[in-house]
Structure 1
Amino acid sequence: MRKLSLIKWLCLGLLVIVGLSGCGKSAPATKSATSASTKTVQSPYVTSQRPTFYVHGFQGSAKSTNTLIAHAEKTAHAHKVIVATVGTDGTISLNGSWKNGTRNPIIQVVFKNNLAQYDQQSAWLAAVISAVKAQHTFKSYNIVAHSAGCVASVNMLMTKQTSGFPKVNKLVTIAGPFDGVVGEDDVANQNSFLASGKPAELHAAYQLLVAKRTNFPKGVHLLNIVGNLDDGSNEDGFVTNVSARSIKYLLRGRQVAYTEKDFHGKKAQHSQLHENPKVALAVDNYLWHR
């Protein structure tokens, strides 16, 4: 009997030892799992303090860029910090607050006179950039422009500015009428590119820019968005594909990092482009994606 009891106690002791050793081995796995769960997932979008100016076109308003900005705020963690309104007399009012450290700040530019000529809007845009810089210092900036705002922006970049004016980093042009507007000085499927890449017909806007093209800063990154209704007209309802793409030849020799994205169908109509979520995503990715 005593022998049997001794055997039972020995077996019980072995079970306890095995159990404790098993617990000891499983502890590191628990620690590893806890460590993995606390790792921070990096955002695919950068954190930058470089401002981006959104510019509407002829007959445009804040509504023209509201959707693009809202998408940038939701997707790319951007923040609209200032609405810069230019009065009909050129007076600039800055509404909002740009706090230090704000991620991917956006300035929305609104022209009260949305029918002003390119030269006038270019001067106003430069004045807005200077006014914002006086309030919050920055060395470089981006521009997102739609329609005539594209021509005004490019014209501004080709115009000599005052000393200390910040440098453009990235430029996004959406449906830019660089070489004419359908119904005014252009006709669908009438213009074309020569073998050199030069447009066969040079309309007023293009001639304005050609005169000062060598002033365009070197090394700019440019995303050019082109709309095509796919109805045989090769245009977006207002701007032909040749007119929109003519910016590439215009900026030859300026070391521009040129990217072009084409959008098709009803959502690629001139005014629908700035409401198209796929266009907005392309803009966000170009400006802020890692």
Structure 2
Amino acid sequence: MRKYGLFLAAALLIYASFLTLEKSDHAVSDSQFTEPVLFVHGFKGTARSFNTMIARFEQRGWGERALTMNVTRTGRLLVRESPFSTERPALIQLIMENNRASFEDTSRAVAAAMQVLKKEYGIEHIKVVGHSMGGIVSVKFLQDLYDPALHPAVDQLVTIGSPFNGVAGGRWFTQNEGEAVYDLMPGSPALAQITANHAQFPKETQVLNIAGTGDQVTLLQSALSLNAIVPKDQYQLDILYDTTVDHSGLHETPLVDEKIGAFFHYQ
């Protein structure tokens, strides 16, 4: 009987620990989030996609990692908090486990993360940095899903190498698979819908569009198509004239950091 009692006590302790871990997924933080920045990776992106940029921002004193938000394939949102200084911008990384999902599904994941940031962390205003498809789904979120009652206002958006007119080259499409591959095709219905919904883009969001001459996935013409979606008085373009920096290299180079830092008034 005593052995049974010990077993039951151990089982209850394990169950309580499990509940604590579950609760920590959406733990309400008392921290003050200063000028938060959300980083959204692109097609096939992982934690590595923005890890180095965030580390460089930290080295420059432009902020500290505050949250890492993981969206599982089942749509569950897991949030990990990191100690950070409330005197510096709070850097937040969003990571999708299903990193080949459609624009529709990925933008909904962005919306879910934004809702948690407002409800659980009290964030009312935020900046967003999106690489490649991350820039596209951020725009789609703002057009179709943004609700000021549920989400923080996006004051500034940076798109990096985002193919608003589709990805270049047939080879890329034969080498990749997933719902997003169809969405990223030039002339796809998903891209056409984003262009058609240009009037729904929020009037309070200022945009910096960064494109590179060395990008063989997102050609300049495709990246520059964003100017048909964002109002002229909210739109800035900055081209990186360096043929040695390819598509993935755009979020790995300090040259792009400088452009973002100037836009965010960090320097």
TM-score (norm 2): 0.76
Higher-Rg member (1/2) = 1
- Could you list the runs of 4 or more consecutive aligned residues of structure 1 that deviate by over 6 angstroms after TM superposition? none
> 1: distance between equivalents of 2:119 and 2:84?
14
Query: Are 2:160 and 2:250, in contact at CA under 8 Å, matched by a contact in 1?
Result: yes
Distance change >3 Å, CA 100–CA 77, structure 1 → 2: closer
> 2: distance between equivalents of 1:133 and 1:150?
21
| Root-mean-square deviation (Å) | 2.3
> 2: distance between equivalents of 1:211 and 1:262?
25
How far residue 49 of structure 1 moved from its aligned partner, in angstroms, is: 1.1
How far residue 251 of structure 1 moved from its aligned partner, in angstroms, is: 2.0
Distance change >3 Å, CA 90–CA 144, structure 1 → 2: same
Query: Are 1:225 and 1:261, in contact at CA under 8 Å, matched by a contact in 2?
Result: yes
How far residue 89 of structure 1 moved from its aligned partner, in angstroms, is: 0.8
> 2: distance between equivalents of 1:288 and 1:239?
27
Gaps of 5+ in 1: 1-47, 187-200, 230-235
Partner of 2:228: 249
The letter of the residue matching 1:156 is F
> 1: distance between equivalents of 2:222 and 2:151?
30
Partner of 2:73: 88
Q: The residue matched to 1:176 in structure 2 has which SS?
A: coil
Query: Are 1:98 and 1:136, in contact at CA under 8 Å, matched by a contact in 2?
Result: no
Partner of 1:44: none
Distance change >3 Å, CA 93–CA 211, structure 1 → 2: same
Q: What fraction of aligned residue pairs are identical, expressed as a percent?
A: 29
Query: Are 1:267 and 1:273, in contact at CA under 8 Å, matched by a contact in 2?
Result: no
Partner of 1:279: 256
Gaps of 5+ in 2: 1-32, 173-185
> 2: distance between equivalents of 1:283 and 1:139?
21
Partner of 2:55: 70
Partner of 2:207: 222
> 1: distance between equivalents of 2:167 and 2:191?
11
Partner of 1:238: 217
Residue by residue over 1:226-245, the C-alpha shift from the partner in whole angstroms, topping out at 9 and shown as x without a partner, is: 0112xxxxxx1101111100
TM-score (norm 1): 0.71
Residue by residue over 1:124-182, the C-alpha shift from the partner in whole angstroms, topping out at 9 and shown as x without a partner, is: 01101111222210211110000011111000000134424221100000000101101
> 2: distance between equivalents of 1:67 and 1:286?
19
How far residue 219 of structure 1 moved from its aligned partner, in angstroms, is: 3.0
Distance change >3 Å, CA 239–CA 205, structure 1 → 2: farther
